[in-house]
Structure 1
Amino acid sequence: MKNLAFEASLGGEYIWCISLLLSFFGLDAIKKNRVVAMRNYMIGLTLFGFLPLLYAIIYYFPDVWTYLTFDDEEELEEIHMWQGYPYGLLWYAFIILALQVHSFSMYSAWKLITSWKAKGTKKIRLKHVHMMCHKLLV
């Protein structure tokens, strides 16, 4: 079996992994219809999901740009490669997928929060109408 040598971690990868654990908090918020818990999930996803991805986009941009616009083979020697592929470009492929998943999660969380709030305001309005009718009848 071939030995796969990876570049040392930036640390952002570990921070991003926290966003995977946040999924359990999001699922718990869904199960219990909790607006505050879902809002906390969205904040956590922004801090531990999107920000590390943004950092990786900025960090790997010079390598990706150099690879996409190189004129000389000497320029490619400056780029970190893994298995013959530019390391930054591989990260960009992962980042695109992660951004799609996180964006869909944020959109879904936002839609749930707005629907839960709307449902709550309908209950309050119905309760208010019921109280007004009761006062009129008494």
Structure 2
Amino acid sequence: MASRGMYVSGTDGTDFSHRQQIAAHYQTSVLNKTRLKYTIFFHYILFFIMLAKLSADILDRLDIFILEIEELLIPKPLLWEYVWCMSLIMSFLALSSIRKNNIATMRKYIYGIITFGYLPILYAVIYYFSDFLTYITLEPDEDIEDKDIQMWQGYPYALLWYIFIVLAVQVHSFSMYFSNNLIQCWRLRVAMKKQ
């Protein structure tokens, strides 16, 4: 506060060393909460991509016929695709845990991502590995039709899945990392409160 060029004592910025500072674990907690929310947002995007892939099968099960979707000739889904979709439910645990700084709920989120995120993805990696390996080892002059590679819309199906898998592994890995950081911050906060 200034008055005709005169500073009131203690308000000229020289008192910064006496001000309270935010503890580092609170800053880390806020940063990791924001980053985890971003990874959950990307998880939602991947979920909607998977849902678009599953839409033909879901509509068939509901006995709804849409010609445009049927003409795409989307391959029948495997069980791992539906199991992976259940990983989206785990994001609600993480968001609840973020609001309440709850360590137990965040652990459930981590276990859920391992179970419904990583394990189905691991199964997909193994399942499509032979087609993927066959495709990437093709010679430039070889014809894809001679090989026993499943194709969709002119693209190797395994390659499309591997693109999805790489993105999903990145999203799950970052969410696990940020969740783990949050648990460490919250443990430190609990330990400091006990002192």
TM-score range, shorter-chain basis? 0.7 to 0.9
For the residue of structure 2 that corresponds to 1:63, the secondary structure is helix
- Match of residue 6, structure 1, among 37, 54, 74: 74
For the residue of structure 2 that corresponds to 1:91, the secondary structure is helix
Say if 1:76 and 1:38 are closer, same or farther in 2 by CA, change over 3 A: farther
Unaligned runs of 5+ in 2: 1-67
Q: How does 1:1-138 map to 2 (within 5 A)?
A: 3-71=71-139, 72-73=142-143, 76-125=146-195
Aligned Cα root-mean-square deviation (Å): 1.5
For the residue of structure 1 that corresponds to 2:73, the secondary structure is coil
Unaligned runs of 5+ in 1: 126-138
Shift of 1:122: 0.8
Say if 1:11 and 1:111 are closer, same or farther in 2 by CA, change over 3 A: same
Look up the equivalent residue of 1:48 and give its one-letter code: F
For the residue of structure 2 that corresponds to 1:4, the secondary structure is coil
Structure 1 stretches of 4+ moved >3 Å: 74-77
Say if 1:69 and 1:76 are closer, same or farther in 2 by CA, change over 3 A: farther
Tell me how far apart the structure 1 counterparts of residues 144 and 167 of structure 2 sit (CA, whole Å).
Answer: 31
Tell me how far apart the structure 2 counterparts of residues 21 and 86 of structure 1 sit (CA, whole Å).
Answer: 30
Shift of 1:57: 0.5
Tell me how far apart the structure 2 counterparts of residues 13 and 32 of structure 1 sit (CA, whole Å).
Answer: 31
Of structures 1 and 2, the larger Rg is shown by: 2
Is the contact between residue 13 and residue 52 of structure 1 (CA under 8 Å) also seen in structure 2?
yes
User: What TM-score do the two structures reach when normalised by structure 2?
Assistant: 0.61
Shift of 1:93: 0.3
Deviations 1:25-68 (A, max 9, x none): 11001111110000010000000000000100010000000001
Tell me how far apart the structure 2 counterparts of residues 99 and 49 of structure 1 sit (CA, whole Å).
Answer: 8
Look up the equivalent residue of 1:80 and give its one-letter code: Q
For the residue of structure 2 that corresponds to 1:7, the secondary structure is coil
More helix by share: 1
